[in-house]
């Protein structure tokens, strides 16, 4: 009965962990802003095959995640703002990832708890980003490799690769393919059943990998080439100029905190006893993690968010380690999880009260113009989260860790969310621009980034045309983005009618010009 109660508690805890932070704020740059811009193009103009960003085709990623987010926005748009309803798609894929991790671990409750407790997963799991559907596809592929029947296992492996493919292109199925091909390094995977699994997976992957690319090629060979060659191979080689900076050690350096608390437990399981390496349930996640680390580290562009799929095999390694992990390893994690949560909660509550009563100057400087207020519903959820956490204080690790992380996140996403959203949203800037626009006519733009173009389109209805394009030649207005506060050069034919920036932002300045007769 005790195990059943703990499992039930884990389910409720994970549900709370998923839901807090999914709604209640505008899309934040960079990833959420441009992702929702693509979803908005589907909702506004029905552009399902080739989503657009600010009126232009966007070919960095296939559209599965954008489709899913648009469907959620359509289904729940009557209840939530479009961007909040769209963000439910992330909750769907994250919930699917946690469930598949539980299945792949042999139904160990610790596995999804450790995955949810990974510090690097917390923020990204609640963002409107394609990495969440990519991770779900990879989790499905890893789970499929734990199954014995080659046909069922292969079909699920191909389906997981297909989900990953339509989320971010060739990277996901490439990783799963390399994992499956590398597993026979262990004798237990050198058999005909594994070969048949690979053949079944190729058949299951085919419709995912062929239908959308074929339709894209039929519509525009040029867009197909841009997607297939530039945004798949070019990102890996660096020729595309996308996806972060060149740092082949970024994942090794950042996994120290990004994968806490899973990596110490996973490392102990692998290195404590040599016989552990003879177990298929250890071999699979070990190979999966090694393949992902090597492939991602070899790429010419890197961002920490790309490491999210690596957290799945690390959780699968860490979960069985709890059965025999020494107290000197788990006890510090228990103390850090409980004590850290108590300290963080105390600071968040105290800081919020100070913000309401007598905010320090540095708080006001970080979010200029913010008017502190008490949201009754947010306050009730914050109190409920705090009371709920007290019920987990005497539980064992990893319940205590994930409960403490959930409490900290819940307080940030309830008490502090209006304060955090105030300087991050483009809503105020876009509405100011909209008020200054002429009744009709196009808007030319200069130096606007993809997130900015998406948010001006969403909040102000501004579908900006790049200044250098022929279509923008006769536009009566010009919207300029500059990284410095000084007025940018604009020529004698333009008159400045507005300038502005987001509250507290010293890196993005916007200028609106009207063409003079």
Our count of domains for the chain comes to 3
Percent of all residues in the chain with a pLDDT value above 70, rounded to a whole number: 97
In this predicted structure, the answer to whether residue 332 has a pLDDT above a threshold of 80 is yes
Average pLDDT over residues 107-124: 97
Q: How is residue 380 written in tokens?
A: 């009730």
Quick one: pLDDT at residue 5? Answer: 43
* pLDDT (mean) for 199-209: 98
- Same domain assignment for residues 108 and 84: yes
Residue that terminates a domain, selected from 424, 441, 467: 424
Closest CA to 309 of 405, 219, 175: 175
What is the dihedral angle through the alpha carbons of 6, 10, 12, 13, rounded to the nearest 10 degrees? 130
Judgement on whether residues 17 and 155 belong to the same structural domain of the protein: yes
Stretch 311-330: mean pLDDT, rounded?
95
Q: Are 43 and 81 part of one and the same domain?
A: yes
d(CA 79, CA 87): 13
Mean pLDDT of 93-109: 97
* Relative orientation angle of helices 376-390 and 327-357, to the nearest 10 degrees: 150
Provide the 8-state DSSP code for 484: S
The per-residue pLDDT for range 403-418, each reduced to its tens digit, is 999 999 999 999 999 9
Looking at the structure, tell me whether residues 312 and 377 fall in a common domain.
no
Same domain, 382 and 493: no
Q: What is the pLDDT of residue 239?
A: 62
Last residue of a domain, one of 321, 345, 361: 321
pLDDT, residue 278, reads 94
Work out the pLDDT band at 195, boundaries 50, 70, 90. very high
Q: Which domain holds residue 466?
A: 427-515
User: Does 307 score more than 90 pLDDT?
Assistant: yes
Note the pLDDT tens digit of each residue in 17-72: 999 999 999 999 889 999 999 999 999 999 999 999 988 999 999 999 999 999 99
Residue 333: pLDDT over 50: yes
């Amino acid at each position: 009965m005790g195990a059943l109660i703990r499992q039930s508690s884990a389910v409720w805890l994970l549900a709370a962990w998923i839901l807090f932070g999914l709604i209640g704020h505008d899309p934040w740059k960079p990833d959420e802003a441009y992702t929702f811009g693509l979803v908005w193009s589907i909702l506004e103009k029905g552009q399902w095959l080739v989503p657009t960003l600010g009126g232009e085709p966007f070919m960095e990623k296939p559209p599965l995640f954008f489709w899913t987010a648009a469907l959620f926005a359509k289904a729940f748009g009557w209840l939530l703002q479009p961007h909040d309803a769209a963000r439910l798609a992330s909750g769907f894929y994250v919930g699917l990832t946690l469930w598949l991790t539980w299945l792949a671990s042999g139904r160990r409750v610790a596995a999804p708890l450790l995955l949810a407790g990974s510090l690097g997963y917390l923020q990204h799991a609640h963002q409107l980003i394609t990495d969440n559907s990519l991770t779900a596809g990879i989790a499905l592929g890893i789970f499929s490799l734990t199954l014995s029947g080659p046909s069922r296992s292969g079909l699920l492996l191909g389906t997981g690769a297909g989900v990953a493919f339509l989320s971010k292109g060739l990277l996901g199925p490439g990783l799963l393919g390399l994992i499956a091909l590398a597993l026979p390094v262990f004798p237990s995977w050198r058999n005909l059943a594994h070969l048949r699994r690979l053949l079944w997976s190729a058949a299951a992957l085919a419709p995912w990998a062929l239908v959308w690319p074929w339709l894209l090629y039929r519509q525009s060979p040029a867009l197909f080439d841009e997607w297939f060659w530039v945004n798949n191979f070019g990102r890996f080689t660096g020729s595309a100029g996308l996806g972060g900076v060149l740092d082949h050690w970024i994942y090794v350096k950042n996994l120290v905190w990004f994968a806490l608390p899973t990596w110490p437990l996973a490392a102990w399981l692998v290195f404590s006893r040599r016989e552990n390496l003879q177990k298929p349930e250890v071999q699979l996640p070990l190979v999966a993690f090694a393949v992902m680390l090597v492939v991602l580290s070899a790429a010419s562009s890197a961002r920490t968010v790309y490491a999210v799929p690596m957290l799945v095999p690390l959780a699968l390694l860490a979960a069985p380690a709890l059965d025999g992990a020494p107290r000197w390893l788990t006890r510090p994690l228990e103390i850090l999880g409980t004590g850290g949560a108590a300290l963080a909660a105390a600071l968040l509550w105290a800081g919020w009260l100070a913000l309401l009563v007598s905010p320090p100057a540095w708080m006001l400087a970080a979010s200029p113009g913010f008017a502190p207020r008490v949201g009754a519903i947010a306050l009730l959820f914050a109190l409920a989260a705090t009371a709920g956490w007290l019920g987990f204080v005497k539980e064992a690790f990893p319940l205590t860790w994930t409960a403490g992380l959930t409490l900290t996140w819940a307080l940030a996403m309830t008490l502090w969310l209006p304060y955090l959203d105030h300087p991050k949203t483009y809503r105020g800037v876009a509405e100011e621009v909209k008020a200054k626009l002429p009744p009709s006519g196009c808007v030319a733009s200069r130096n606007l980034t993809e997130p900015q173009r998406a948010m001006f389109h969403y909040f102000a209805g501004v579908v900006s045309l790049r200044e250098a394009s022929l279509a923008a030649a006769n536009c009566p207005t010009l919207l300029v983005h500059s990284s410095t506060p000084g007025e940018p050069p604009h020529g004698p034919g333009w008159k400045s009618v507005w300038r502005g920036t987001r509250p507290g932002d010293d890196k993005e300045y916007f200028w609106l010009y009207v063409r003079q007769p």
